[in-house]
Every structure is written in C-alpha cells, then in structure tokens.
Amino acid sequence: MFQFIYSLLIRLALPFILIRLWWQGRKAPALRQDWQHRLGHVPSIAGPVIWVHAVSVGETIAAGPMVRRLLARNLGATILMTAMTDTGLAQARKMFGNRVTYAYAPYDTPGAIRRFLGNINPRILVIMETEIWPNMISQCRRKNVPVFLINARLSERSARGYERVRGLAAPIMKSITWVAAQAEPDAERFRRIGVAASHVEVTGSVKFDVDIPEDVRLASERFRTTLGPRPVWIAGSTHCGEDEQLLQAHRLVLARHSDALLIVVPRHPERFDTVAVMAQELGFQVARRSQGQGAGGVQVYLADTMGELMMLYGASDLAFVGGSLIERGGHNPLEPAAWGIPVFSGPHVFNFETIYERLLADQGVQLVQGADDLARAINLLFANPVERKAYGERALAVVNKNRGALDRVVEGVIERL
C-alpha cells in the first residue's frame, strides 16, 4: 500500500517535473537532450550489462576508479553509467569517452523503470552511496537483478527519516543484495532500517582510493606553470551563500599577500555568471577559464568549465572544500588531500562524516567558521612554507593509510556477478 501511494504521487508529479526540467534547460541546454531517457526510453544494449548509477558529479568521480578496475578485468559486459544530472554525465564522458555507455537515469515511476530495464536488461545494478529509489530497487528485484549499494553512507538524520516511513522503506531495504558500507555506524543504521544483517559489510570508503590519472597530473603541471610563483588557493564546489564569504576571505588574504590568486569553482554551472558578476562588483580583477583568459595579473580566476576540479586542485597551494560554510553537508576533501596540499572546510561536513573524522584525527584538515577564520589560516600557511608542506603531507598520509576499500568492493561486485 505504501509503495502504491508513493508511485501514485510520483506519477501525479511527473508532468510538473518535466516542466521544471524544460525550464531549467533554458540555462543548461544539456538537460533537454535525451530527456526521453528519463521516461525509460533508452537504446537497447545487446549482451550482459553492468549498470552503474551515480546521482551527480561527486558520485560519478567516486565511481571512476571502480569502473576503471571493472574495465581492466575484461568481463565481457557493457558498463552503462547513469546520472540524474547533466553535469554528472558530462563528468562521466570526460573520464571514460567511448569506453562505456551513458544514459540519464529514469524517473522512479513503475512504467519508466520497467521500460528502462526491458531495454538494457542489466546483470547487476551498482548504486553509488545512498541513492535509494523504491521503484528502481523493487523492479530490479522482480527481474532478479541484484542491487548493490557501494560506498554506502547513512547519516543518523537520514536513518531517522527512513524509520518514519518504515512501511515504505523496509520492503525496499530487504530487496538490496549487498551494502558495502563506509564505516560501522553506517552499517548499523542500514541494518536498523531493514537491510538484512547478512547483506551488510563494512568495506571502507572507496574515496580514499582516489585515482589521479597521469594526464590529469600533466595538465595540472602545465596549468601551474602559467600561474608563476605566486601563492594560489582554490575554493572547490562552492554554493550560493559561500562565494561572498570566500571573496571576503580573499580580500583579507590580499592585504597580506598582494599577489595571491583565488581560483573559484562553483558547484553548479548555472551559477558561473552570477559568481563572475559578484566578484567584479566587489572590485576584484577576474578572468574566466571558459573564455580562454589567462590568470596572470588577476586576483580571481573563475573556473567555469566542467570536469577540471581535480586538475585545478593539483595546481594550487591550499584548498577550501565547498558546501561546508552553509548547511549543505560538504563535498569530498580527499581530492585535494590526495595532492598533498592543506585542506580547509567549513563546519557543516555531515555528508562526509567518517572521512572528516579520520582527517581531523591526524590533523589532515582544518575546519573554519567563516571568512575571517579562513583568511587567518591561509595567511599563516602562505607565510610558512615548511608548515604548509607538513600540513599537506599529513593530509596525504591519511589518504594513503585508508586505501584498500576499492579492492574489496571490486572483488565483492565480481563475486556476485
């Protein structure tokens, strides 16, 4: 009954969801491309298919090393990568080119899911983190398609939310074949909301197995050469409400280090123009990467291109990870940490609770409360290269110490194929 009501509500909302998609497509035309995928109308795929679903950019990047390992195993299966966002698919295409197949994930109506499964006939569904869609999972169960939650995390707040709708959640959770949880608290919460205890395993976070391809390293070195010896800090994956604080912090940094450069990487493309105008109105000299403008002589460099954040982290001396000065929950701090540079975040990091606990325990990250606090920390490290290097080495050491989850996950997936 609960799932029937859920499906009915999704069907009733679908016209409005499609109208919203069309409206958002005015500024992001890629959203309107292949929109029929979202209703389950995708090209048929011959032969066995491994379906990997990652909701957006962050999850797609996290899935990257696993997909590379699966491709290297020559399993004789097509890997289909899906995402809910255009930026997620753009990131996947940038990472894998024509080595995998791509589609938008279908909306979670029974008909859309049935059509999608009928066209691709997957052998397994691998969902990154905790993208739980009731019809997607239940329809896979009916077609005997195993469903894996990989790199799974579940906050206490989310667990309580699932408990409030236990009538809908419990049957879905029981349909999940394997949960590869990031940490024991995550595993305990999954068991609590209905996943069979025997189907839950703590594998660790695959994000510690961060992979920096050689071409990304070379591109980073080339870009850094164009910046010269000036001090460079980057604010990655920023959100509305943060950019003002980051620009204020940069003004304080410039007061001590007049040649410093801030690279700003907004999380969402529709905010590129807004951030550019904001920085200009605040009196900063701004260059935009999408327009081929160099960073020489400017104070703020707007990285308004897609799929280059990892490369840009490598070209920076310090990194601030966005989504954390507001209650968004933060983004992945391991990407800059893997480059061996100091990492800063705001106080709101509940999306990466376990990762931040490990970084904080070994002094591999510093949490700041706002613009003044961030500027003070940056100025101290810019003035002290020895401490800056030590800070970055501590961050990298945490990454290296916690590697290994990827091997466990890949072996687990292959065993259950």
The residues annotated with a catalytic role in the active site are 59
What are residue 85's phi and psi, to 5 degrees?
A: -115, 155
Three-state SS letters, 61-122: HHHHHHHHHHHHCCCCCEEEEEECCHHHHHHHHHHHHHHCEEEECCCCCHHHHHHHHHHHCC
How many angstroms separate the CA atoms of 317 and 214, rounded? 19
Strand partners, 366: 344
- The answer to whether 395 touches 340, Cβ cutoff 8 Å, is yes
How many angstroms separate the CA atoms of 68 and 171, rounded? 33
- The answer to whether 344 touches 366, Cβ cutoff 8 Å, is yes
> Which distant-in-sequence residues (6+ apart) come within 8 Å of 88 by Cβ?
54, 55, 56, 57, 59, 60
- The answer to whether 328 touches 239, Cβ cutoff 8 Å, is yes
